[in-house]
Chain A
């Protein structure tokens, strides 16, 4: 196996394997092209099973010349069967939760950043940077610290306090920009032109995005080298959604798994739903929006891979839905109460859309559904306020009895 070049997804023009991200002919996104013709499925499977306990076990499918390394290796997060969630939703289906909060900085962003930081080192950069809605900031700061690189992390200044604290602690240069994520992103695209830095999601984006494929590989491996029938996945830029699809497709093409691509259901917050809107309207471009939602980690109003996410949902006969802030909070509670997993607002969006699919009757009997939970509830604590009441009592038996008598007698 070898990586070949960077290839434009729009016009097919090719570029050398450097820090490029947009095609010079048409501005289309560049993607890493591989030659898998030498891969023997049985040997590849053995190699994966004998590999590390994280994403580097899939190195043959990642964009490196040599062997990547990273002291904070993410991946091999739990895939848990959620029967009580299925029961609450009233569906006769297997529901599985891929809990990607169980990564070093508690979100799926560790996957893409581990790949981007290792690639930055391979390309000789000494500074990494990013435009982030929060989770990426945590991951870039941490992985840069682990690798001994300098880092600059740009976020909207009004981000959740938990995400700011969990970034600054790593000793990064944390820059709060007075604007929304799309403003931050524009600024970083401009900075990437003049600074000799590896912006993980700008000039290194083609490599970075490849890290998301590992979520597909792990899912297939954890299901016993089988594909799910359906996946439910959050959409911000649309990169995760499309790359999980690409990961499954690569393994189908090579013969590591059999069958066909799962149905892809995308999840957005109603307050920032440019991709869901484009899907509903039948557009092939996304009209940008000004985000207003509690799901800040998904608050990208101008999603780079939006058009591809729409195409991917259509091709797999899936859909892209959106949910309100209240449905997001309900989703967080539902997952916590039925699985013991506490997710952030993005996970609330995903579970909210799962509930919507169930209510609509879209989930067939006996289907195997994988739900991608991409981040940790402790990072968005504000969203859980007023969801329950604490019983406050004196340290005396009578006080406990008095508080709970009413409940027991009901």
Chain B
């Protein structure tokens, strides 16, 4: 089953307006690489030197990947990956 990746409003300019993408991959890193393969502009917007930029949060099924293995966090088939800006709240 493919992984669903939810794209926040701020990034939809780089996905032709699409709010959800379906890709394959077994870790967060692989899933993001697959997303960048389809929409090249996204790579620079959310990563820098191979890591996530400091104001980008990624969640797997609602759980922040920094509480797991970061980009190496494994993903089950059919799971949902959400990308969100980190600058909310407080």
Contact = CB atoms under 8 A, between A and B. Distances in A.
A25 interface: yes
A236 B90 contact: yes
B67 A27 contact: no
A54 interface: no
Nearest to A136: B90
B51 to A, nearest CB: 10
A285 interface: yes
A127 B77 CA distance: 38
Nearest to B89: A185
By CB atoms of chain B within 10 A, which of A199, A236, A288 has the most? A288
Instruction: Please provide the 9 A-B residue pairs with the shortest distance between their CB atoms, ordered closest to farther.
Output: A237-B90, A22-B85, A29-B87, A185-B89, A27-B55, A202-B88, A189-B88, A24-B10, A304-B87
Contacts of B55: 10, 22, 26-29, 304
A21 interface: yes
A114 B57 CA distance: 29
Given A10-B55, A190-B82, A288-B64, A24 B45 contact: yes
A285 B88 contact: no
Given A288-B66, A302-B57, A21 B86 contact: no
B39 interface: no
A277 B15 CA distance: 37
B10 A27 contact: yes
Given A202-B88, A236-B90, 19 more contacts: A10-B53, A22-B87, A27-B45, A27-B46, A27-B86, A29-B55, A29-B87, A182-B64, A186-B62, A188-B89, A189-B88, A189-B89, A190-B82, A190-B84, A238-B90, A290-B67, A300-B90, A303-B90, A305-B90
A307 interface: yes
A216 B86 CA distance: 26
By CB atoms of chain A within 10 A, which of B67, B82, B84, B85 has the most? B85
Interface of B: 8-11, 13, 45-46, 53-57, 59, 62, 64, 66-67, 82, 84-90
A181 interface: yes
B87 A27 contact: yes
B69 to A, nearest CB: 14
A281 interface: no
B89 A21 contact: no
Contact of B88 (A183, A205, A238, A307): A205
Contacts of A285: 54
Interface of A: 10, 21-30, 131, 181-183, 185-186, 188-190, 192-193, 199, 201-202, 205, 236-239, 284-285, 287-288, 290, 300, 302-305, 307
A212 B74 CA distance: 41
Contacts of A237: 89-90
Given A27-B46, A285-B54, A305-B90, A189 B67 contact: no
Nearest to A287: B66
A201 B89 CA distance: 5
B90 A27 contact: no
A187 B64 CA distance: 12
Nearest to B9: A193
A239 B90 CA distance: 7
20 contacts: A10-B55, A22-B55, A22-B87, A25-B45, A27-B45, A27-B55, A27-B56, A29-B87, A131-B89, A185-B89, A186-B64, A186-B84, A189-B84, A202-B88, A205-B87, A205-B89, A290-B67, A300-B90, A302-B64, A305-B90
Nearest to A235: B90
A304 B89 CA distance: 7
A193 B8 contact: yes
A199 B90 CA distance: 12
Contacts of B87: 21-22, 27-30, 205, 304-305
A284 B8 CA distance: 25
Contacts of A205: 87-89
A277 to B, nearest CB: 13
By CB atoms of chain B within 10 A, which of A10, A238, A304 has the most? A304
Contacts of A25: 45
By CB atoms of chain A within 10 A, which of B85, B86, B90 has the most? B90
Nearest to B82: A190
Nearest to A288: B66
B86 A23 contact: no
A168 B68 CA distance: 36
B89 A26 contact: no
B13 A24 contact: yes
